[in-house]
Structure 1
Amino acid sequence: MQQLIHDFVLLFAVIDPIGTLLLFLSITGGFAPRDRNRIALRATIYSGAILLLFVVVGQLILTAMGIQLGSFQIAGGVILFLFSLKMLFGDDVSHSHDRAEPGHDIAVFPLAIPSMASPGALTAVVVITDNRRYGLDEQLLTSVTLIVVLLITYLLLLMANSIHKWLGDSGSAILIRVMGMLLCALAVEIVFQGITGLGTSPPTHL
């Protein structure tokens, strides 16, 4: 249960439904409700397919490239840490992506990539489905957790206008920063796990 909660919090933080909601509002303001709902559904399906693909083949790619999981965990932890700093100090993910160019499917860019299937999310799904640490049943449970987070994100997108009116700009900013703090702590934990996995330990003093 503790691992399940850990995975849910991590995936919720890196997929960042609140940040995605704000981005969704900013780029679909002129769309009809039916079109916005279709965009939300496509973005959820695309990002889910990408993330689940990384669950299946992410570690195979690392093995083929000769990259130890510990090294990937350290690099991924650093990426997540930097990602969390953006959330904490005001460079919100929801405002950091350029608007899609004319003719592009905004469900793909910037909603599915790089908002929902962000570099941090891709890193996280590989780390928490490590074949050497988790069995098939645990990886399936993680995949179900991922799908649940994506469904929550989809529901939030469907209710985007109502949620934003209820939270307001201040409430949205507070939620993003709380998730940033949680993600920051999780990132540090992932780095330490990577160091342990490489068979070394951080220095205890200078």
Structure 2
Amino acid sequence: MLSVLLTQFVVLWAVIDPIGTVPVFLSQTTHLAAKQRRLVALKAVAISTGVLLFFLIAGQFLLEAMQIPLPAFQAAGGLVLLLFALTMIFGESKPGTESKLSKELKRSELANLAVYPLAIPSIASPGAMMAIVMLTDNHRYAVMDQLMTAGIMILVLLITLFLLFGASKIHKLIGDVGAEIISRVMGLILAAVAVNNLLMGIKDFYLAV
């Protein structure tokens, strides 16, 4: 059980990437007062939590309503996670890419900053949405297991919130280079998990046929 929980923590940490979110947060809130920064961080994490909880609760029901078997979604999710991981490893790092995408939003309201790019796609990324559905498969995990997964997800989001509260100090400590290194290492770990999900999805799909 401990190894399963640890694996889930690593997966959710990789796809949510709290440390990689710090430079994005700093780039979008440099012009704000300290109180406004905290408000943006709270709103961003709250929105991300709501989005991911929605996928945790209703994601599988939506798939089944569309008659998409979960093994197929698991394989597709594994493929998407793999592509996401490869961009983390070989492409521009998360801080660099998302900061460029969002430079034009510096004059937006605080709520807009919290939604984009912080909540989506930085914290509640497509990879995180895919991962939470796969980690709470109703056919493979009991309700108690899913509640523990939800608890781990909330723990990672709380860590993200605390990191955003201390973003200035953290960025001074690790710098952009440190954030990029950590992001690429997490991408490598995520790639291994993604390949496993892809292969398991293919295996389960053919066994179910």
TM over 0.5: yes
**Where does structure 1 differ by over 4 angstroms across 4 or more consecutive aligned residues?**
none
Which among 153, 166, 172 is matched to residue 159 of structure 1?
A: 166
Q: Which residue of 2 aligns with 1:145?
A: 152
In structure 2, C-alpha distance between the alignment counterparts of 1:96 and 1:194, rounded to whole Å: 30
How does the TM-score come out when normalised to structure 1? Answer: 0.93
Deviation of the 1:132 alpha carbon: 0.2
Question: Match for residue 55 of structure 1?
Answer: 56
Q: Is 2:196 the counterpart of 1:189?
A: yes
Paired-residue identity, %: 47
Structure 2 portions without partners, runs of 5+: none
Distance in 2, matches of 1:54 and 1:169, equals 31
C-alpha distance after superposition, 1:18-44 (max 9, x if no partner): 111111011111111110011001100
Structure 1 residue 93, shift from structure 2 partner: 2.1
More helix by share: 2
TM-score (norm 2): 0.92
Q: CA deviation at 1:173?
A: 1.5
Give the match's secondary structure for 1:91: coil
Identify the match of residue 119 of structure 2 among 112, 116, 125. 112
CA distance in 2, matches of 1:95, 1:71: 32
Report the number of matched residues: 200
Pick aligned residue for 1:170 from 160, 165, 177: 177
> What's the Cα RMSD here?
1.2
Aligned partner (choices 119, 131, 134) of residue 124 of structure 1: 131
Instruction: Give the gaps of 5 or more residues in structure 1.
Output: 201-206
